[in-house]
Amino acid sequence: MQKLKEICMVDLVVAGLVAFDDVSTPHGSVEKAMGGPGCYSSVAASLFCRTGLVGVAGADFPAEYTKVLESKGVDLAGLQVVEDKTFHWKGVYEGDMNAAQTIFTRLNALTQFRAEIPAQYLGVKYLLVTNFDPEIQLELMKQTSAVVAMDTMNYWINNTREKLLEAIAATDILFINDAESLQLTGAQGLEGAGAELLGMGPKQVIIKRGAQGSMLFEGSEVFSCKAYPLEQVVDPTGCGDSFAGGVMGCLAAGKTMREAIVYGSAVASFNAEGFSLDRLREATPESVGERCEAIRRLTSF
Amino acid sequence: MQKLKEICMVDLVVAGLVAFDDVSTPHGSVEKAMGGPGCYSSVAASLFCRTGLVGVAGADFPAEYTKVLESKGVDLAGLQVVEDKTFHWKGVYEGDMNAAQTIFTRLNALTQFRAEIPAQYLGVKYLLVTNFDPEIQLELMKQTSAVVAMDTMNYWINNTREKLLEAIAATDILFINDAESLQLTGAQGLEGAGAELLGMGPKQVIIKRGAQGSMLFEGSEVFSCKAYPLEQVVDPTGCGDSFAGGVMGCLAAGKTMREAIVYGSAVASFNAEGFSLDRLREATPESVGERCEAIRRLTSF
């Protein structure tokens, strides 16, 4: 009999939070909307490959939200549902909407999360560990021999720097935003930060720059990708997660890293056009492909 | 007998100031160094095509400087030398060196400039009118049937806005920097500014963004070009002029506008590595070509 890990039914596992988001931007607001890196990343990835989600939700997470994930093809074998409320975040975007101001973060169900990749996912080739306590990230990473990508945030740089460095040393691909890359390395510019981060262990470092696009660092090579230009950003929540999910979904589908980054940018641009997953859900491989071509026209010569 | 205009010996005419520059940056300083848009643009252009310079110098402009221009192949039939001192500018760059603080501007010889394109240049196919009083720019533009490009600066936006708009309406290609594009149009972003500027008359608008690169607007298409990434900018003086000169030199040499913009970026990157024309003089078609390939590797997917 073949071992389970050899007949893995997904190409990519996304480990990430499932959340309620209260978000307010100059264009409106939502309450208890579906959110969290797990939802954004897995829905983005499932445009390109078979994706499984490992995360935790509270008993109050609506069946309606779970159905959205399922309807997009996300496998929920790894979604733990516990007797608690769902993780809940409230944030406000003002001005140029570069970063949200957090009003509250209620961990709720997250405190009961078991950092466990289900047996049927253990043979997976790609694992995306979105923003979590680096301790959890390390725990997840060591369970598979997959190509591992991780994301992080300023909180862990400030509070658990040593553990974070350990996680970064263990990952193959690091996603990090521009401000955090400078904060973590102390570098003056993104080129310097990218080089420093490569020195910490990852084979590939991807610095996210929001509306400015992204940069890939690999060996001595740098790739600079434009964001798809939008008339209006309605809500940037989840754009970094949609981007990472899109990138990893495309890698798992056999695209090159540069192509994957362009696709990730295109997916993230859809996400920014609506609150919660409203617009991301509507993206199709075709509509994403069209935006990739627009990015190509924007930069090719 | 063939008319003079039909046997024009240059491919591009650059009309621009010849200047003494006193410049101080965090990396050093120079006094009475060779400068001015005329020098930067014509030397950059002459890497790619036969270039003639129309400008004015004072009697004190050193033969040594003129020889530099000649040694780079710049034709000086249109360089007027008058009994006065050479235009003299002093500026200081601090911090991120995005913009110079002007200490003084002495017009000197510029007040005697005759806005006259020599007869032997009248059949030229491309004319670059660098930053001048828009009145002078219009005067120069109307003398040829060349494809005309112009640059400008904030001073004219503030002081002779109507005349400037007239010049912009008369030009084929507009070079303008990012801050000035926003100031002139009142747009919130560069995409909007580019579209507004196209509406003012030019067929192509090129917004210069310094270390951020440049953007081309043409019809409904946008091309975004990265700057060649430099370890250290020694002196940004003349980078915009080297860029414009490089672009126009390449257009005159038959390259596409997108290619020309990449070459212009590469040329400008050399200029930024030294004071005055020290590094620009050392650039060769080969070394510029290598940097163009590096820009391609940075952005292609």
What structural domains and CATH numbers belong to chain A?
Answer: 9-158+232-299 (3.40.1190.20)
Taking the CA of residue A218 and the nearest CA in chain B, the distance in Å comes to: 12
Which among B15, B104, B137, B112 has a CA at the least distance from the CA of B58? B112
- Least CB–CB distance from B301: residue in A221, A223, A301: A223
Tell me what the pLDDT averaged over chain A comes to: 96
User: Hey, of A231, A258, A299, which one would you mutate to test binding to chain B, going by the most B CBs within 10 A of its CB?
Assistant: A299
Q: What per-residue confidence (pLDDT) applies to B1?
A: 44
- Least CB–CB distance from A226: residue in B224, B259, B262: B224
- Least CB–CB distance from B299: residue in A224, A256, A297: A224
pLDDT digits (tens, 9 = 90+) for B83-110: 999 999 999 999 878 789 999 999 999 9
Taking the CA of residue A191 and the nearest CA in chain B, the distance in Å comes to: 9
Instruction: Enumerate the residues of chain B whose CB falls inside 8 A of the CB of residue A229.
Output: 191, 222
Q: What per-residue confidence (pLDDT) applies to A97?
A: 85
Q: Do A299 and B221 touch (CB under 8 A)?
A: no
DSSP-derived 3-state class of residue A3: coil
Q: What per-residue confidence (pLDDT) applies to A99?
A: 83
A residues 228..267 contacting B (CB < 8 A): 229, 256, 258-259, 261-262
Strand partners of residue B53: B14
Q: Could you tell me if A127 and A140 are in contact, meaning their C-beta atoms sit under 8 angstroms apart?
A: yes
Q: What per-residue confidence (pLDDT) applies to A215?
A: 98
Beta strands in A209-264 (DSSP E): 214-218, 221-225
Scan for tokens 């005419």, then name that residue. Answer: B13
Rounded average pLDDT over B273-293: 98
Residue of A nearest to B297 (CA): A223
Q: Does residue A98 belong to the interface with chain B, where contact is any CB pair within 8 Å? A: no
pLDDT digits (tens, 9 = 90+) for B130-184: 999 999 999 999 999 999 999 999 999 999 999 999 999 999 999 999 999 999 9
pLDDT digits (tens, 9 = 90+) for B51-67: 999 999 999 999 999 99
Q: Do B224 and A223 touch (CB under 8 A)?
A: no
| Structure ipTM | 0.82
**Minimum mean pLDDT range among A50-59, A116-125, B92-101:** B92-101
Residues composing chain B: 301
- Give me the total of CB pairs closer than 8 Å, taking one residue from chain A and one from chain B: 44
- Maximum Cα–Cα distance across chain B: 59
pLDDT digits (tens, 9 = 90+) for B22-51: 999 999 999 999 999 999 999 999 999 999
Per-residue b or e along B181-219, where b marks 16 or more CB atoms closer than 10 Å to that residue's CB: bbebbebeebbebbebbbebbbebbbbbbbbbbbbbbbe
Taking the CA of residue B299 and the nearest CA in chain A, the distance in Å comes to: 5
Q: Does residue A223 belong to the interface with chain B, where contact is any CB pair within 8 Å? A: yes
CA distance A129 to B229: 32
Taking the CA of residue A62 and the nearest CA in chain B, the distance in Å comes to: 40
Confidence at A36, pLDDT banded by 50, 70, 90: very high
